Amino acid sequence: MISITLRIPADVVESMKAIAPQRGFSGYQALLKAYLSDGLRRDEAQFLLSKEARLIAALKKRGVSESLIAEAERDIAA
């Protein structure tokens, strides 16, 4: 684990303090970690397991260079 500092609005912290015990957490920090983890996992599933990501992984597995893949990504982004 690493330690970070976040500035969070006071009303958000108060809401998390009220909700944490109802969700079975000992405190708001544990709830915040759960929220971050859940959101990250959802985004990973959406972005990292997308059709494009799977295609890129398959190309890399077959020896297509990173630079060629990056060039193709730039072509389709333009």
Residues in CB range of 8: below 8 A, 6 or more apart? 32
Smallest Cα–Cα separation from 12: which of 27, 28, 25, 23? 28
DSSP code of 3? -
CA torsion angle for 13, 15, 20, 22 (degrees, to 10)?
Answer: 170
Domain boundaries, the chain: 10-77
- Residue 63 has a pLDDT of 96
**Model-wide pTM > 0.85:** no
pLDDT tens sequence across 10-39: 999 999 999 999 999 999 999 999 999 999
Residues in CB range of 39: below 8 A, 6 or more apart? none
